[in-house]
Chains A and B, each alone.
Chain A
Amino acid sequence: NAGVTQTPKFQVLKTGQSMTLQCAQDMNHNSMYWYRQDPGMGLRLIYYSASEGTTDKGEVPNGYNVSRLNKREFSLRLESAAPSQTSVYFCASWDSEAFFGQGTRLTVV
């Protein structure tokens, strides 16, 4: 039982490149979340998915897209990375409490 698994753990992108952050959970949870964490800013909600096939914007959705491929997987895509998207990204799933992945450290140069 792995919980919430995020890949990759580290990534460096050049400005304008695209990439997809992967997240999978094996707890059969309906709700899944993507957050970014910047120094002094706490966690900010990017996108949220209440169930397979549904997604909603959070506080800071600009520059991101998401896909809830199935109940297990919730991916976050950066179509054209910008230095302002340098951050640590966390995926979480929810069932009465939130379970977090270990994070993806993304640097955009």
Chain B
Amino acid sequence: SQQGEEDPQALSIQEGENATMNCSYKTSINNLQWYRQNSGRGLVHLILIRSNEREKHSGRLRVTLDTSKKSSSLLITASRAADTASYFCAPRVQRGSTLGRLYFGRGTQLTVWP
């Protein structure tokens, strides 16, 4: 399959704690993107990391990429109740018949308790 697989499926933490979500994939990629989905809404792009990058930061978000292990992680520091959402990774395939398609996994449901 071409999509990423997020782990864990569900994560529950207190405000102020850090949240770490992982993504594994199976193909060679150009980049990997993380998206957020608030309940019942469309996905919103958070951050993109290219295949030649190992780490990227954006505000309270930190993304790492290990192409040798075909895995990525998303760290949200100092979580807030407003971070409660589902988080999805989307590996962008580098070549082949599925080039151009954008696949998503089942996501990680993050709940941040006040």
Contact = CB atoms under 8 A, between A and B. Distances in A.
Interface size, A (range): 20 to 34
B25 interface: no
Contact of B88 (A43, A48, A102): A43
Interface string B7-47: 00000000000000000000000000101000011111100
Interface stretch (B53-61, B75-83, B96-104): B96-104
A56 B101 CA distance: 9
A26 B42 CA distance: 17
A66 to B, nearest CB: 14
Contact of B100 (A48, A90, A102, A103): A48
Contact of B42 (A41, A48, A97, A101): A101
A33 B42 contact: no
A69 interface: no
Interface string A38-50: 0011110100101
B107 interface: yes
Contacts of B95: none
Contacts, number: 55
Interface of A: 4, 31, 33, 35, 40-43, 45, 48, 50, 56, 58-59, 88, 90, 92, 94, 96-103
Given A41-B106, A43-B88, A100 B101 contact: no
Given A42-B88, A42-B107, A43-B88, A100 B44 contact: yes
Nearest to B107: A42
